[in-house]
């Protein structure tokens, strides 16, 4: 393993998921956006799934929509789901298990691949378009977030908000990987890009940020809010699709063909392979604390860890659809979303 150091200087703000598509579709041009008053498709509004409200064990199908679903975020008991064609769905704490989904109006027809919330007020979503959309009222209204910089994105695959004033986003231009830093009220877009790279996963912890992608086998890391960049060359030829830090010490990366990597050096520089049971592509990871975590992936794969990602076991999923996102509101209540408009729900930690 070798490490190189890259030095970058940010341009100040005074200036600005894995899908079912083939790999080269990661470079698709953005879809035309629609005006704010455009209509939203009439999506199904399912009743409470049988057995879920009674606390049945395991995972259950909570809903099924026509549009593919790509991202999910849990915050303060609220659930947000991002999907194709500008789809953004919401359920509040009182409707978490049952009841209708609220369709929130994001003024775009572009596929939304990621959604994230810093708290019960501020959130952001993005996808196959140059814009990042933000809300400051828990999704009641969405608008284009201020941003600066000369780099024009074609796709955002990942956004992560650490707090209402600290965030990180990543994706690609026509030929390079690129990232953004959220600083207070503006998404700052540095002029640095990474040739022949598509960034698929990102995570921020205070001023530390990580990037993983699909071509170079490198994990990029900055300890000082993107002033200085390091990378670890893992010599992987398989895409790495998500990165999640369970604590200041431990991080998890998931990727294709059952890849799970773990770091416990406190810097996210040294990574080792974790033995898993299958070869399905893994797309998203979520930990509810420093011990309990879940990973989802293709063919309805759901993995669970109780030891900070050192070992994993399968959970039974009532679907064979490709799962794209997972989040939990507590150690027992969680959601997973994916292709086929699939929404899964558990009240027992998936057990």
| Interatomic CA distance for residues 120 and 210, integer angstroms | 24
Give the DSSP letter of residue 243. E
What's the pLDDT at 95? 53
Which among 96, 114, 91, 75 is positioned nearest to 43, based on CA atoms? 91
The enclosing H or E element of 47 equals: none
Query: What tokens appear for 69 in the block?
Result: 């679903």
> Which residue's entry shows tokens 């956006």?
33
- What is the topology classification, in CATH, of domain 46-346? Methylamine Dehydrogenase; Chain H (2.130.10)
What's the pLDDT at 17? 39
What's the pLDDT at 22? 32
Query: What tokens appear for 204 in the block?
Result: 């921020």
DSSP secondary structure string, 204-215?
Answer: EETTEEEEEESS
CB distance 325 to 283 below 8 Å = yes
| Interatomic CA distance for residues 251 and 135, integer angstroms | 29
| Interatomic CA distance for residues 6 and 47, integer angstroms | 53
Query: What tokens appear for 301 in the block?
Result: 């794969």
| Interatomic CA distance for residues 276 and 240, integer angstroms | 15
What distance, in Å, lies between the first and last C-alpha atoms of the chain? Answer: 38
Residue ranges in the chain modelled with pLDDT below 70: 1-55, 94-99
Digit-coded pLDDT (tens) for 118-136:
999 999 999 999 999 999 9
CB distance 316 to 341 below 8 Å = no
Which among 288, 283, 287 is positioned nearest to 323, based on CA atoms? 283
> Which residue's entry shows tokens 């509040």?
92
What's the pLDDT at 20? 38
What's the pLDDT at 13? 33
What's the pLDDT at 348? 94
| Interatomic CA distance for residues 282 and 256, integer angstroms | 6
Digit-coded pLDDT (tens) for 2-26:
344 343 333 333 332 334 333 333 3
> Which residue's entry shows tokens 């579709």?
25
Query: What tokens appear for 189 in the block?
Result: 């877009």
Other CB atoms within 10 A of residue 307 CB: 10
What's the pLDDT at 48? 54
Report the DSSP pairing between strands 147-148 and 186-188. parallel
Contacts of 263 (CB under 8 A, 6+ apart): 250, 251, 253, 269, 270, 271, 272
What's the pLDDT at 118? 95
């Amino acid at each position: 393993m070798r490490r190189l150091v890259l030095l970058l200087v940010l341009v100040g703000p005074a200036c600005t998921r894995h899908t079912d598509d083939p790999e080269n579709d990661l470079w698709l041009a953005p879809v035309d956006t629609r005006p704010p008053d455009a209509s939203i498709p009439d999506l199904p509004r399912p009743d409470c799934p049988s057995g879920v409200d009674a606390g049945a064990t395991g995972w259950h199908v909570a809903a099924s929509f026509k549009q593919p679903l790509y991202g999910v975020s849990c915050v303060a008991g609220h659930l947000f789901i991002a999907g194709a064609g500008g789809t953004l769905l919401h359920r509040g704490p009182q409707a978490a298990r049952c009841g209708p989904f609220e369709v929130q109006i994001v003024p775009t027809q572009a596929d939304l691949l990621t959604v994230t919330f810093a708290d019960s007020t501020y959130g952001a979503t993005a996808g196959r378009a140059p814009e990042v959309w933000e809300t400051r009222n828990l999704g009641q209204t969405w608008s284009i977030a201020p941003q600066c910089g000369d780099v024009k994105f074609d796709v955002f695959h990942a956004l992560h908000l650490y707090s209402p004033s600290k965030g990180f986003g990543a994706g690609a231009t026509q030929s390079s990987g690129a990232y953004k830093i959220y600083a207070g009220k503006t998404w700052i877009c540095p002029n640095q890009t990474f040739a022949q790279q598509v960034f698929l996963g990102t995570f921020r912890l205070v001023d530390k940020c990580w990037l993983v992608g699909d071509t170079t086998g490198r994990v990029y890391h900055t300890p000082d809010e993107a002033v200085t960049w390091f990378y670890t060359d893992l010599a992987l030829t398989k895409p790495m699709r998500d990165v999640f830090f369970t604590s200041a010490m431990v991080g998890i990366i998931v990727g294709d063909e059952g890849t799970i990597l773990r770091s416990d050096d406190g810097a996210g520089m040294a990574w080792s392979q974790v033995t898993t049971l299958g070869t399905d592509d893994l797309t998203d990871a979520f930990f509810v604390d420093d011990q309990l975590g879940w990973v989802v992936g293709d063919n309805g794969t759901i993995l669970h860890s109780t030891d900070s990602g050192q070992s994993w076991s399968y959970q039974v999923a009532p679907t064979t659809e490709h799962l794209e996102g997972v989040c939990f509101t507590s150690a027992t209540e969680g959601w997973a979303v994916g292709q086929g408009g699939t929404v899964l729900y558990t009240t027992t930690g998936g057990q």
